[in-house]
Amino acid sequence: MLFWQSYVLTRRLTAKEEKRRIVASIYTADTADTADTADVDAVGFDNKTNYFHPMGKPLDSDLAKGLWVFLNSTLVDQYFHQMNGHTQVNATDLRTLRNPTKQQLVAMGNMVDFVSFDQKRVDQIMGHLL
């Protein structure tokens, strides 16, 4: 069980028909619909889900958004396709990715506006800071 805060999640398995291997999403207690959830301090994720955390602790909101941008970028998708020939996304595969610095990820997270956001904007943010 984990603290009920912000995490970046990816699926461990993707269908071979899917264009992307890494599809990241953000889980955050700030935006969770509390009417549909229990009043608890912890959350658990399915074992078919990878989650990102700094030493078992939750992510800062801007850091989570920046990591979300990085993982959903075309650059990471192309790299992952070249390095990994199967549909499984292992935690080890994700750990071997060379991530931007924490400061770069936070800066990317500050540029996220979920109101009007698409793949082009994700790649613009990546290109701007890297």
Q: Which residues lie across from 6 on neighbouring strands?
A: 59
Residue-level pLDDT at 38: 58
Determine the residue type at 100.
Answer: P
Q: Do residues 76 and 10 touch, judged by C-beta distance below 8 A?
A: no
- Measure the CA–CA gap between 57 and 6, rounded to whole angstroms: 9
Residue-level pLDDT at 43: 73
pLDDT digits (tens, 9 = 90+) for 31-84: 555 555 556 677 777 778 888 888 777 788 899 999 999 999 999 999 888 887
